[in-house]
Amino acid sequence: MKIMVGGTFSPLHAGHKKLISRSFELAGPRGRVVIGLSSDAFAGRKSHPVMPYAEREGALRTYIQSLGTETPWEIEALNDRYGSALETDFDILVVSEETLPAGIEINRLRRAKGMPMVEIHQIACVLAEDGRWISSTRIIRGEIDDEGHVIGWE
Protein backbone atom coordinates (compact mmCIF):
# COMPACT_ATOMS: atom_id res chain seq x y z
CA MET A 1 0.00 0.00 0.00
CA LYS A 2 1.50 3.32 -1.06
CA ILE A 3 0.39 6.28 1.04
CA MET A 4 0.85 9.98 0.32
CA VAL A 5 0.54 12.82 2.81
CA GLY A 6 1.67 16.41 2.58
CA GLY A 7 2.01 19.66 4.41
CA THR A 8 4.20 22.54 5.49
CA PHE A 9 4.74 21.14 8.99
CA SER A 10 5.97 24.41 10.52
CA PRO A 11 6.15 23.94 13.38
CA LEU A 12 5.60 20.19 13.60
CA HIS A 13 2.76 19.79 16.11
CA ALA A 14 0.50 17.11 17.60
CA GLY A 15 -1.96 17.32 14.69
CA HIS A 16 0.83 16.81 12.14
CA LYS A 17 2.18 13.90 14.16
CA LYS A 18 -1.25 12.24 14.13
CA LEU A 19 -1.44 12.68 10.35
CA ILE A 20 2.01 11.19 9.80
CA SER A 21 1.58 8.35 12.30
CA ARG A 22 -1.72 7.36 10.70
CA SER A 23 -0.05 7.32 7.28
CA PHE A 24 2.48 4.78 8.55
CA GLU A 25 -0.27 2.68 10.18
CA LEU A 26 -2.19 2.54 6.90
CA ALA A 27 0.92 1.64 4.89
CA GLY A 28 2.01 -1.14 7.20
CA PRO A 29 5.49 -2.67 7.07
CA ARG A 30 5.10 -3.75 3.43
CA GLY A 31 3.82 -0.38 2.23
CA ARG A 32 5.52 2.91 1.52
CA VAL A 33 4.88 6.46 2.75
CA VAL A 34 5.66 9.53 0.65
CA ILE A 35 5.59 12.77 2.61
CA GLY A 36 5.28 15.93 0.55
CA LEU A 37 6.94 18.84 2.31
CA SER A 38 6.19 22.36 1.06
CA SER A 39 9.23 23.97 -0.53
CA ASP A 40 10.37 27.31 0.86
CA ALA A 41 8.90 29.09 -2.18
CA PHE A 42 5.51 27.39 -1.84
CA ALA A 43 5.43 27.73 1.96
CA GLY A 44 6.25 31.42 1.62
CA ARG A 45 2.62 32.00 0.64
CA LYS A 46 1.46 31.18 4.17
CA SER A 47 0.04 33.96 6.32
CA HIS A 48 2.54 33.23 9.09
CA PRO A 49 6.33 32.80 9.18
CA VAL A 50 7.59 29.34 8.19
CA MET A 51 10.84 27.68 9.24
CA PRO A 52 13.32 26.93 6.41
CA TYR A 53 12.83 23.69 4.49
CA ALA A 54 15.95 22.05 5.94
CA GLU A 55 14.72 22.63 9.52
CA ARG A 56 11.25 21.31 8.75
CA GLU A 57 12.71 18.28 6.99
CA GLY A 58 14.99 17.62 9.97
CA ALA A 59 12.07 17.76 12.40
CA LEU A 60 10.08 15.35 10.19
CA ARG A 61 13.00 12.91 9.97
CA THR A 62 13.51 13.00 13.74
CA TYR A 63 9.82 12.36 14.38
CA ILE A 64 9.59 9.50 11.86
CA GLN A 65 12.70 7.87 13.33
CA SER A 66 11.09 8.11 16.78
CA LEU A 67 8.21 5.97 15.48
CA GLY A 68 10.59 3.03 15.06
CA THR A 69 8.79 2.03 11.88
CA GLU A 70 10.11 -0.49 9.37
CA THR A 71 7.92 0.99 6.64
CA PRO A 72 10.00 2.56 3.85
CA TRP A 73 9.44 6.29 3.45
CA GLU A 74 10.68 9.35 1.64
CA ILE A 75 10.23 13.10 1.76
CA GLU A 76 9.70 15.03 -1.47
CA ALA A 77 9.49 18.78 -1.97
CA LEU A 78 6.07 20.23 -2.82
CA ASN A 79 6.15 23.20 -5.15
CA ASP A 80 2.34 23.36 -5.32
CA ARG A 81 -0.58 21.80 -3.48
CA TYR A 82 -0.52 18.62 -5.59
CA GLY A 83 3.12 17.55 -5.76
CA SER A 84 3.54 14.23 -7.54
CA ALA A 85 -0.01 13.12 -6.65
CA LEU A 86 -1.19 13.95 -10.18
CA GLU A 87 1.37 11.68 -11.89
CA THR A 88 2.16 8.95 -9.37
CA ASP A 89 0.39 5.66 -8.77
CA PHE A 90 -0.54 5.36 -5.11
CA ASP A 91 -3.40 3.99 -3.04
CA ILE A 92 -4.36 6.40 -0.27
CA LEU A 93 -4.05 10.12 0.35
CA VAL A 94 -4.14 11.00 4.05
CA VAL A 95 -5.65 14.41 4.81
CA SER A 96 -7.00 16.39 7.75
CA GLU A 97 -10.35 18.16 7.91
CA GLU A 98 -8.47 21.27 6.86
CA THR A 99 -6.78 19.69 3.80
CA LEU A 100 -9.73 17.58 2.60
CA PRO A 101 -10.60 20.07 -0.20
CA ALA A 102 -7.09 19.61 -1.69
CA GLY A 103 -7.58 15.84 -1.63
CA ILE A 104 -10.90 16.12 -3.44
CA GLU A 105 -9.28 18.40 -6.02
CA ILE A 106 -6.44 15.89 -6.53
CA ASN A 107 -8.96 13.15 -7.33
CA ARG A 108 -10.87 15.45 -9.71
CA LEU A 109 -7.67 16.28 -11.58
CA ARG A 110 -6.54 12.63 -11.64
CA ARG A 111 -9.89 11.59 -13.13
CA ALA A 112 -9.64 14.37 -15.76
CA LYS A 113 -6.22 12.98 -16.76
CA GLY A 114 -7.64 9.45 -17.06
CA MET A 115 -5.86 8.27 -13.93
CA PRO A 116 -7.50 6.18 -11.23
CA MET A 117 -8.86 8.03 -8.26
CA VAL A 118 -7.30 7.28 -4.87
CA GLU A 119 -8.89 6.62 -1.52
CA ILE A 120 -8.95 9.66 0.72
CA HIS A 121 -8.45 8.90 4.40
CA GLN A 122 -9.42 11.87 6.55
CA ILE A 123 -8.29 12.18 10.14
CA ALA A 124 -9.91 14.48 12.66
CA CYS A 125 -7.92 17.54 13.64
CA VAL A 126 -6.39 17.37 17.09
CA LEU A 127 -7.92 19.71 19.62
CA ALA A 128 -5.97 21.89 22.02
CA GLU A 129 -6.99 21.90 25.67
CA ASP A 130 -9.28 24.87 24.94
CA GLY A 131 -11.30 22.73 22.52
CA ARG A 132 -10.11 24.50 19.36
CA TRP A 133 -7.94 22.96 16.62
CA ILE A 134 -4.20 22.86 17.12
CA SER A 135 -2.74 24.88 14.26
CA SER A 136 0.60 26.32 13.30
CA THR A 137 -0.96 29.79 13.24
CA ARG A 138 -2.13 29.47 16.85
CA ILE A 139 1.29 28.22 17.92
CA ILE A 140 3.09 31.08 16.16
CA ARG A 141 0.69 33.60 17.74
CA GLY A 142 1.69 32.20 21.15
CA GLU A 143 -1.83 30.97 22.02
CA ILE A 144 -0.82 27.30 22.44
CA ASP A 145 2.28 25.11 22.36
CA ASP A 146 2.88 22.32 19.83
CA GLU A 147 1.02 19.81 22.03
CA GLY A 148 -2.06 22.05 22.37
CA HIS A 149 -1.48 23.37 25.86
CA VAL A 150 -2.82 26.89 26.21
CA ILE A 151 -0.08 29.35 27.03
CA GLY A 152 -0.73 31.02 30.37
CA TRP A 153 -3.26 28.47 31.63
CA GLU A 154 -2.51 26.93 34.99
CATH class held by domain 2-126: alpha beta
Q: What confidence tens digit (pLDDT) does each residue in 71-96 have?
A: 999 999 999 999 999 999 999 999 99
- Determine the Cα–Cα distance for residues 54 and 61; give it in Å rounded to an integer: 10
Q: Are 54 and 14 in contact (CB under 8 A)?
A: no
* All structural domains of the chain with their residue ranges: 2-126
Q: What confidence tens digit (pLDDT) does each residue in 34-47 have?
A: 999 999 999 977 67
How far is Cα of residue 122 from the mean position of the Cα atoms in its chain?
A: 11
Q: What is the pLDDT of residue 45?
A: 77
Q: Is the pLDDT of residue 1 over 90?
A: yes
